[in-house]
Amino acid sequence: MSSDPKAPLGLRIAATGGLLLLHLPLLLIVVYAFTTEEKSFQFPPPGFTTKWFGIAWSERPDIWPPLFLSLKVAAIATCLALVLGTFAAAGLSRARFFGRETVSLLFVLPIALPGIITGISLRSAFDIMGLDFSTWTIVLGHATFCIVVVYNNAIARFRRLGGNLIEASMDLGANGLQTLYYVVLPQIGTALLAGGMLAFALSFDEVIVTTFTAGQQSTLPIWMLSELIRPRQRPVTNVVAVFVIVTTMVPILLAYYLTREGEHTGGSSK
């Protein structure tokens, strides 16, 4: 602890390069939201303006339906994932049965699977079942990977919770609901919040699975994709992108801080 060791120069260059590669494109998107050139992304921008924010707000009603659809899908898929993922984690963390690890793996698999596989298989499944493609098919598609995120967060916390705290609570006179409220939720609350936020962010900008499971409607990411082909008012897309960056960054950062704090208290209680 006497002095912070300095990383070798090569490593520092590599780390800086990696960070630039990751974040410069984001910066470019933000810069282009203010450019005066509307037909192509020209660098450096010939001039800066904030008029696209006004145009996006008042002159482009086609932004709103995809935005609301995305928010709606993300919200429902997250709620669904919170309920199902938490129950699955609660069950699997306490039960001991043959094939438990396999079931656990099956829960996590959808996130490792390429989205295109998930998309195609869901599409054919919906076809076979005769389901019309709608908001709900998108929600189901998103729920497949949202459940994983919630499940993974919750099961780690459930394992730490152990059965004894629940028994202790019941022993002290609390029924199931009181135990859930006073003991289980405080223990897993931050994990659920973090899992839910990650799930929301994942769903909000999902393209591939959505392409396969959406009907005529488009979610915000799909709307942006279609905007890129059109030459008109290009920076409006960037304005929306800036909005998306902000709305997804905030929950992800919060989730990061919440789980970090959770690990800290978890570590000190042992």
Partner 1 sequence: MTSPAVRFQNVSRRFGEVKAVDGVSLDIAPGELFAMLGPLGSGKTTCLRLIAGFEQPDEGHIEIFGARADGLPPYKRNVNTVFQDYALFPHMTVGENVAYGLMIKGMGRAERESKAAEALAMVKLKGFEARRAAQLSGGQRQRVALARALVNNPKVLLLDEPLGALDLKLREQMQEELRALQKGLGITFVFVTHDQGEALSMANRVAIFNEGRIQQVGTPTDVYERPRTRFVADFVGSANVLAPDLAGRLGAGPRWVSLRPEKITLLADGQGAPEGWVSLDGRLASASYQGSVTRLAVDAEGVRITAAVPAGSAPIVTGSTLRLAWPKAAMVLLEGEP
The distance of closest approach from Cβ of residue 99 to partner 1 in the complex, given in angstroms and rounded to an integer, is: 17
244 within 8 A of 220, measured Cβ to Cβ: yes
Q: Specify the residue, 105 or 168, whose C-beta has the smaller distance to partner 1.
A: 168
Q: Quick one: tokens of 240?
A: 């929306």
The distance of closest approach from Cβ of residue 78 to partner 1 in the complex, given in angstroms and rounded to an integer, is: 24
| Coil vs helix vs strand at 48 | strand
Q: Specify the residue, 65 or 266, whose C-beta has the smaller distance to partner 1.
A: 266
Q: Specify the residue, 179 or 237, whose C-beta has the smaller distance to partner 1.
A: 179
DSSP letters, 67-130, are: HHHHHHHHHHHHHHHHHHHHHHHHHHHH---TTHHHHHHHHHHHHHS-HHHHHHHHHHHHHHHT
Phi, psi of 175 (to 5 degrees): -80, -175
Q: Specify the residue, 155 or 222, whose C-beta has the smaller distance to partner 1.
A: 155
| Residues within the interface to partner 1 (CB under 8 A) | 162, 164-165, 167-175, 178, 182-183, 186-187, 265, 268-270
The distance of closest approach from Cβ of residue 89 to partner 1 in the complex, given in angstroms and rounded to an integer, is: 18
Q: Quick one: tokens of 23?
A: 């974040």
The distance of closest approach from Cβ of residue 178 to partner 1 in the complex, given in angstroms and rounded to an integer, is: 6
